[in-house]
């Protein structure tokens, strides 16, 4: 037969947030669809009415969009195979159920929940090797059914599984696997109220939506067997299956939203994880780009992705590598982009600075790009730019280390007061930062600037320190402490350049005076 256009789907139930596992499943389906030149659709499996919520739905859609996983068909994008919400497809399930009832593939079951529960208890208590529905209503005669109906009992519809039949499936991940239907029971397809259960709705929709490949978590492997039989019963061709291994927590069990350190996709967004880093990291959970590369773009992933290349073993989620990945991306951004991206987390930065001191802000951010892994880490590191900082413990130590340092600070304050340092925030820095891009690297060409550049500040400083007759290092530490209130941060001459004359002089004098 002619190969149909590949069509893959991600089919979440809106009963919670999009977590790492779901995101990866969506991503692999998406990447496979793109790689195969097919379509990626989103179907919402909202048949669990008790747990489905609108908020969850929105969260899942937002999470997917944030990661850059877009869908060709689904909510908000009609592709002619909708509706894409299962609760809007009830008549389709009803019709399929009628057919299966007529063909004998399905039968009504009048067993009560109580009886079913008792049955399970009994099977467990007896340490039965087999647990499941006993087929009580499987062979009900027509008159018995009529009798039950007369008494007002409402039936579930069950699928009649073939007895002891070996079903052979080819799974893209697992290869050939045989399962005996003996292991499976007659499962419920449809509730009395017409709401379908997972396996049934899934198959009816996969047929209706022309799905060709199903990529999902391995917890669905046995469902795949049930579904294959249903496809056959409905006279439809079964899609190709790929059951991918689970993502594991630190203990090696299925990753749960309740595991410590594990968050929903949107929480990563809110904490300033770059989406492409999260995407990149998640892709690596069970799949490798190549033997020697871990960092790649979405496009590169699509070009390289093959479902069969996904591993068989579960992967543990490692927050440390995710953080590294985030830093890796942040460092690569141009400062302007970093500033824009970090804007939502820069609430403590005076709003005016974004318009009047844009370039200065970019320079400031640039000085920290190699020092952060999450965008949320930026704001706390920028405080000293706007207000004279109170020295932290390390800074106090550096200030107190050498009693003579107060004289140096005072002396350098006066030297700087007489120098051509750029103006301090919020004074107008008139094109200074446009001309001098930070962080300054010693091999970079010296830019033309009306004010002292980091390179000149350093040269002057070294000469000054030499005249003073002290070790450069001993001089620099208290200065940094006085200027930034801490012992870490960008190169000191970037700091002085960014801070400008007034602020530097003021802080050095204050520190010299022991304030």
Give the binding range for RNA (CB under 7 A) out of 12-20, 229-237, 354-362, 417-425: 12-20
- Residues 278-297: x/- map of binding to RNA (CB under 7 A)? ------xxxxx--xxxx---
Counting runs of H as helices and runs of E as strands, what totals does the chain give?
22, 11
Q: Which is nearer to RNA, 85 or 354 (CB)?
A: 85
Residue 471: φ, ψ to 5°: -70, 135
Contacts of 1 (CB under 8 A, 6+ apart): none
Range 386-445, binding RNA (CB under 7 A): none
Based on the number of CB atoms within 10 Å of its own CB, is 443 exposed (0-12), middle (13-18) or buried (19 or more)? exposed
* Three-class DSSP labels, 382-444: HHHHCCCCCCCHHHHHHHHCCCCHHHHHHHHHHHHHCCCCCCCCCCCCCCHHHHCCCCCCCCC
Among 480, 481, 500, 501, binds RNA (CB under 7 A): 480
The interface with RNA within residues 210-269 (CB under 7 A) comprises 218-223, 245-246, 248, 251-254
Work out whether 152 is an interface residue with RNA (CB under 7 A). no
Site for RNA in 345-384 (CB under 7 A): 370-371
Cα separation of 47 and 332, whole Å?
44
Q: Which entry of 124, 226, 254, 257 is annotated as an active-site residue? A: 257
Q: Name the minimum Å distance from CB 234 to RNA.
A: 18
Q: Give yes or no for a contact between 116 and 133, defined as CB atoms under 8 angstroms apart.
A: yes
Examine residue 183 and tell whether it contacts RNA (CB under 7 A). Answer: yes
Angstrom distances, CA of residue 429 to CA of 98, 471, 492: 77, 33, 19
Closer residue to RNA, CB minimum distance, 356 or 474? 474
Residue with smaller CB distance to RNA, 33 or 244: 244
127 in contact with RNA (CB under 7 A):
yes
In this structure, the number of other CB atoms found within 10 A of the CB of residue 376 comes to: 16
Residue 185 in tokens: 């029971």
179 binds RNA (CB under 7 A): yes
Residue 11 or residue 26: which is nearer to RNA going by CB? 11
- By residue count, the chain amounts to 515
What SS3 class is residue 77?
strand
Could you say whether residue 467 binds RNA (CB under 7 A)?
no
135/109 Cα distance (integer angstroms): 9
Structure token pair of residue 282? 């998640």
Query: Based on CB atoms, which residue is closest to RNA, 463 or 472?
Result: 472
Q: Please tell me whether residue 188 binds RNA under the rule CB under 7 A.
A: yes
120 is a contact residue toward RNA (CB under 7 A)? yes
In angstroms, give the least distance from the CB of 24 to RNA.
10
Out of 24, 25, 45, 361, the residue judged to bind RNA by CB under 7 A: 45
Binding of residue 151 to RNA (CB under 7 A)? no
CB of 510 to RNA, least distance (A): 20
206 binds RNA (CB under 7 A): no
Active-site residue flag, 257 = yes
Select from 257-265, 269-277, 405-413, 469-477 the region that touches RNA (CB under 7 A): 469-477
Q: Applying CB under 7 A, which of residues 90, 177, 379, 510 lies at the interface with RNA?
A: 177
Among 156, 212, 280, 405, binds RNA (CB under 7 A): 156
Q: Considering the complex, what minimum distance in angstroms separates the CB of residue 15 from RNA?
A: 7
List the structure tokens of 427.
Answer: 């004074």
Euclidean distance between CA atoms 16 and 12, whole angstroms: 9
Q: Give, as ranges, the residues between 294 and 333 that touch RNA (CB under 7 A).
A: 294, 309, 311-316, 318, 320-321, 324, 327-328, 331
Say how far apart CA 451 and CA 268 lie, in whole Å. 42
* 64 belongs to the binding site for RNA (CB under 7 A): no
Instruction: Return the half-sphere exposure (C-beta side, CA atoms, 13 A cut-off) of residue 413.
Output: 22
**Nearer to RNA by C-beta: 138 or 358?**
138
The minimum distance between CB 289 and RNA, in angstroms, equals 8
Closest CA to 484 of 417, 410, 398: 398
* SS3 call for 342: helix
504 binds RNA (CB under 7 A): no
> Binding residue for RNA (CB under 7 A) from 491, 497, 501, 511?
491
Contact window for RNA (CB under 7 A) among 190-198, 356-364, 422-430, 498-506: 190-198
Three-state SS at 505: helix
Instruction: Report CA Rg, the chain.
Output: 33
Q: Please identify, using beta-carbon distances, which residue of 183 and 237 lies nearer to RNA.
A: 183
Q: Which of 113, 142, 152, 515: binder of RNA (CB under 7 A)?
A: 113
Closer residue to RNA in complex, CB, 194/431:
194
For the chain, the distance separating the N- and C-terminal CA atoms, rounded to the nearest angstrom, is: 85
Q: Which one among 27, 69, 197, 215 touches RNA, defined by CB under 7 A? A: 197
d(C-alpha 314, C-alpha 167), whole Å? 25
Distances (CA, A) of 155 to 117, 152, 195: 17, 10, 12
The two three-digit tokens of residue 220, written as one number: 């669905």
Pick the piece of the chain touching RNA (CB under 7 A) from 40-48, 100-108, 232-240, 296-304: 40-48
Catalytic residues: 257
């Amino acid at each position: 037969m002619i190969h149909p256009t590949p069509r893959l789907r991600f089919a979440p139930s809106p009963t919670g947030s999009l977590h790492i596992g779901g995101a990866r499943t969506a991503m692999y389906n998406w990447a496979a669809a793109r790689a195969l030149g097919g379509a990626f659709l989103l179907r919402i499996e909202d048949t669990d009415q008790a747990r489905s919520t609108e908020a969850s739905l929105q969260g899942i859609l937002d999470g997917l969009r944030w990661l850059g996983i877009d869908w060709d068909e689904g909510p908000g994008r009609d592709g002619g195979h909708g509706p894409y919400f299962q609760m809007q497809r009830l008549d389709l399930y009803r019709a399929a159920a009628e057919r299966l009832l007529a063909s004998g593939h399905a039968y009504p079951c009048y067993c009560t929940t109580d009886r079913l529960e008792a049955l399970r208890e009994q099977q467990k208590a007896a340490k039965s090797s087999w647990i499941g529905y006993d087929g009580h209503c499987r062979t009900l005669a027509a008159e018995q059914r009529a009798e039950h109906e007369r008494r007002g009992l409402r039936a579930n519809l069950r699928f009649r599984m073939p007895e002891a039949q070996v079903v052979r499936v080819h799974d893209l991940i697992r290869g050939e696997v045989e399962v005996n239907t003996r292991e499976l029971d007659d499962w419920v397809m449809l509730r009395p109220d017409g709401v379908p259960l997972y396996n049934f709705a899934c198959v009816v929709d996969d047929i209706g939506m022309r799905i060709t490949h199903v990529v999902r978590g391995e917890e669905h492997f046995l469902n795949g067997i049930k579904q294959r039989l249903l496809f056959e019963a409905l006279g439809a061709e079964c899609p190709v299956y790929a059951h991918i291994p689970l993502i594991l927590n630190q203990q090696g069990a299925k990753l749960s939203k309740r595991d410590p350190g594990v968050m929903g996709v949107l929480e990563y967004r809110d904490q300033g994880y770059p989406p492409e880093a999260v995407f990149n990291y998640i892709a690596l959970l069970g799949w490798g780009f190549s033997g020697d590369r871990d960092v790649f773009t979405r496009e590169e992933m699509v070009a390289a992705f093959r479902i069969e290349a996904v591993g068989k073993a579960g992967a543990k989620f490692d927050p440390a590598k995710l953080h590294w990945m985030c830093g890796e991306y942040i460092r690569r951004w141009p400062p302007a982009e970093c500033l824009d991206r970090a804007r939502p987390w820069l609430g403590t930065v005076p709003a005016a600075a974004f318009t009047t001191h844009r370039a200065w802000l970019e320079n400031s951010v640039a000085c920290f790009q190699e020092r952060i892994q999450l965008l949320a880490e930026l704001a706390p590191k920028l405080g000293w730019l706007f207000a004279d900082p109170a020295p932290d413990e390390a800074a106090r130590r550096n200030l107190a280390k050498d009693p003579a340092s107060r004289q140096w600070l005072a002396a350098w304050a006066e030297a700087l007061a007489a120098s051509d340092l750029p103006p301090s925030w919020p004074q107008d820095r008139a094109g200074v930062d446009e001309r001098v891009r930070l962080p300054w690297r010693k091999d970079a060409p010296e830019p033309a600037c009306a004010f002292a550049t980091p390179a000149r500040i350093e040269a002057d400083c070294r000469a000054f320190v030499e005249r003073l007759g002290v070790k450069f290092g001993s001089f620099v530490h208290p200065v940094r402490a006085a200027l930034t209130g801490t012992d870490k941060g960008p190169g000191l001459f970037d700091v002085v350049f960014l801070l400008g004359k007034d602020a530097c002089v003021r802080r050095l004098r204050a520190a010299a005076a022991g304030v």
